[in-house]
């Protein structure tokens, strides 16, 4: 299950984000953001154009203030905690949340019950 380990929870500071390739497909498919103290995990797939990667460069999923997730392609903006698109071409749609678990050692993993299903779904 090591392939679905993401990182230490404390490696993502407030207003920061990081992308991951937990299934080893050669590009990031999930990203973590910390917003108001909480970690949130989302699929790196913009609802405007299904499957479109969102970061403008590695790990750059947030605006400069760290208050909105942004998609580099056409500028959609999303709330970091709900995933709701609040501005841009897919307003009213939402990112897909990824269930995560933080173990006793502070390591973040994709939730165990979702691993098999998501591994299959994310192969593309
Ligand atoms: S693909 Fe994300 S805003 Fe168009």
Q: What is the pLDDT of residues 1-11, one digit of tens each?
A: 455 899 999 99
> What pLDDT sits at residue 1?
46
Residue 59 has pLDDT above 80, yes or no: yes
pLDDT (average), residues 40-59: 93
Among the atoms of ligand 1, which is closest to the Cα of residue 74? 3
4-36: string of b/e by CB count within 10 Å (b at 16+)? bebeebeebeebebbbbebbeeeebbbbbbbbe
CA Rg, the chain, in Å? 14
CATH number at residue 24: 2.102.10.10
Q: Give me the domain span that covers residue 106.
A: 2-122
Closest residue by Cα to atom 3, ligand 1, is 74
- pLDDT digits 0-9 by tens, 5-46: 999 999 999 999 999 998 888 999 999 999 999 999 999 999
Testing ligand 1's pocket by substitution, the residue of 31, 70, 86, 90 carrying the most ligand atoms inside 8 A of its CB is: 90
User: Going by CA atoms, what residue is nearest to atom 4 of ligand 1?
Assistant: 74
pLDDT band at residue 72 using 50, 70 and 90 as cut-offs: very high
Quote the pLDDT of residue 123: 54
pTM: 0.90
- What residues are in contact with ligand 1 under a 6 Å CB criterion? 46, 48-49, 52, 71, 73-74, 76, 88-89
Domain count, the chain: 1
Mean pLDDT value of segment 44-67: 94
């Amino acid at each position: 299950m090591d392939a679905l380990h993401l990182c230490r929870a404390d490696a993502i500071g407030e207003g920061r984000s990081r992308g991951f390739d937990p299934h080893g497909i050669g590009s990031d498919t999930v990203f973590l953001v910390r917003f108001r103290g909480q970690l949130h995990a989302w699929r790196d797939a913009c609802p405007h154009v299904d499957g479109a990667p969102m970061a403008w460069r590695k790990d750059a999923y947030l605006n400069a203030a760290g208050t909105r997730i942004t998609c580099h392609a056409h500028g959609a903006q999303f709330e970091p905690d709900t995933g709701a698109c609040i501005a841009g071409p897919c307003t009213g749609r939402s990112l897909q949340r990824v269930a995560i678990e933080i173990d006793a050692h502070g390591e973040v993993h994709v939730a165990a019950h979702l691993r098999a299903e998501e591994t299959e779904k994310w192969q593309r």
